[in-house]
């Protein structure tokens, strides 16, 4: 049996520099589906990224900026990207040199599929 999120995960993880992609519940931080490379602590990344996205969404709404379309955290050795809709968040973990523009486009396209 295939997961309804399989196509979405494949679309993001096939891109160069992507270490993993996770669909996670925004309020509970629990993984719905995921495809991550060996060594990536999926549950830890998912829970923390969901909490981060949730905070960002609340902050954005409180500041009158409406909802968060795309969240990017740039770290020394890579990026954490997140986009969400209807209580689900797509989280992508990438290498530092990954093409963020392409990944962003793929994630925003994938968010549409969450509806």
Partner 1 sequence: MNTKVAEAWVEGPLQRFVDEARVRFALLLHPNGQVLGQFGFTRAVDVMAACALAAAIHASAAQLGRELEGRPFRELYHAGRERQIFIGESSTARGPCVLLTAFDAESSLGLVQVYFREFQRALAEAAPPLELLGPPLGGEQLERDLNRSLAILFGRLQPPPAGGSSNPSA
CA separation for the pair 105, 81 (Å, rounded): 11
Strand order in the sheet with 31-36: 31-36, 18-25, 88-95, 78-85, 71-75
SS3 state at 75 = strand
Smallest gap from Cβ 101 to partner 1, in A, equals: 29
Nearer to partner 1 by C-beta: 9 or 31? 31
Smallest gap from Cβ 40 to partner 1, in A, equals: 14
Nearer to partner 1 by C-beta: 43 or 102? 43
User: What are the φ/ψ torsions at residue 30 (nearest 5 degrees)?
Assistant: -100, 135
Q: Which residues bind partner 1 (CB under 8 A)?
A: 24-25, 27-31, 43-44, 46-48, 50-51, 54
Nearer to partner 1 by C-beta: 46 or 82? 46
Smallest gap from Cβ 52 to partner 1, in A, equals: 11
Smallest gap from Cβ 28 to partner 1, in A, equals: 5
């Amino acid at each position: 049996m295939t997961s309804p999120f399989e196509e979405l995960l494949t679309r993001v993880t096939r891109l160069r520099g992507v270490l993993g992609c996770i669909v996670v519940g925004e309020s509970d931080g629990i993984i719905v589906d995921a495809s991550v490379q060996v060594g990536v602590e999926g549950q830890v990344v998912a829970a923390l990224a969901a909490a981060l996205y949730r905070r960002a969404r609340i902050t954005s709404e409180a500041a009158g900026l409406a909802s968060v379309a795309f969240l990017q955290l740039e770290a020394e050795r890579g990026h954490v990207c997140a986009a969400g809709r209807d209580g689900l968040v797509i989280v992508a973990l990438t290498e530092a040199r990954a093409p963020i523009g392409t990944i962003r486009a793929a994630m925003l396209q994938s968010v549409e599929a969450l509806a």
